[in-house]
Amino acid sequence: MSSMSNVVLVHGWSMHSGMWGPFVDTLGESHRVTCLDLPGHGHAPMVEEFNLRSISEVLLGAAPEKASWIGWSLGATIVMHLARYFPERVEGIALLAGNAKFVADDEWPSGMELSLLRRFGANLIEDNRGAVLRFLSLQAQGSPATKHQLKELRERLDSRSSPIESALLGGLDILEHADSRRALKNLQCPTLLLYGELDTLVPVAAGEAMKALCPKARLHVVKGAGHLPFYTHTEETASVVKAFLKAYRV
């Protein structure tokens, strides 16, 4: 259909675009969907330095000229960066389990403990593969993901090459230092904040705090979901995203 709008999906830390699974097919019923691998992940070649600037260049170079962007976890941080610095390329953004500031502090308690994040970096040096698998299991915590689903997620993860260590470390550096609160406060494009009720990595409180910064944003909480709402609650997540995308399309 020529009336279909463009939607670009950006995955999370240590994952790849194949992790979106059936969510892509459901979204593809009404939109032209582009799934991109971050540099050094999946099928994408590594860049000289894994940072928000270089990632933006790569993603924008592979994306349609104008699109709505959906970011999951680290992908949400990247999408907020794109909306701030390249607004002419962004029609709207949907942030799935995203956090304006991933690491908690006194002013922003709704984040991960810095020590836990840095532990992932230390574990990567010792055991790259093990650290990624542990993170995958951590994402499933609190959600209704069954042993079968976790096995399927691991199979999906293994369907492409393991991410390059420097890309993983670069991603952790972004998560540790990126602060999108000012960007979120000044966003002009339509924004959806979507969270899993039981997410242990990015709690619903983060979404509520982000909604306070960006009152025009729509906040939706998926009951019973964890950090993978698009996987464990595909139909609901896709339905909410589709309704959001439709709301600002002519």
| Residue 43 is among the residues annotated as catalytic for this protein | no
Block residue for tokens 């999946």: 42
| Residue 227 is among the residues annotated as catalytic for this protein | yes
The one catalytic residue in 16, 31, 220, 227 is: 227
Query: How far is CA 190 from each of CA 26, 68, 81, rounded to the nearest angstrom?
Result: 21, 9, 15
The one catalytic residue in 81, 143, 199, 220 is: 199
Phi-psi region of 200 (alpha: psi -120 to 50; beta: other; left: phi over 0): alpha
State which H helix or E strand residue 242 sits in.
Answer: helix 234-247
The Cα–Cα gap between 42 and 53 comes to: 20
Structural contact between residues 44 and 27, judged by C-beta atoms closer than 8 angstroms:
no
The Cα–Cα gap between 80 and 4 comes to: 23
Buried/exposed 56-91: b ≥16 CB within 10 Å, e otherwise: bebbbeebeeebbbbbbbbbbbbbbbbbbeeeebbb
| Residue 199 is among the residues annotated as catalytic for this protein | yes
The one catalytic residue in 73, 110, 143, 180 is: 73
Non-local CB neighbours of 167 within 8 Å, separated by 6+ positions: 38, 39, 40, 41, 46, 50
Structural contact between residues 40 and 160, judged by C-beta atoms closer than 8 angstroms:
no
Q: Which residues are known catalytic residues?
A: 73, 199, 227
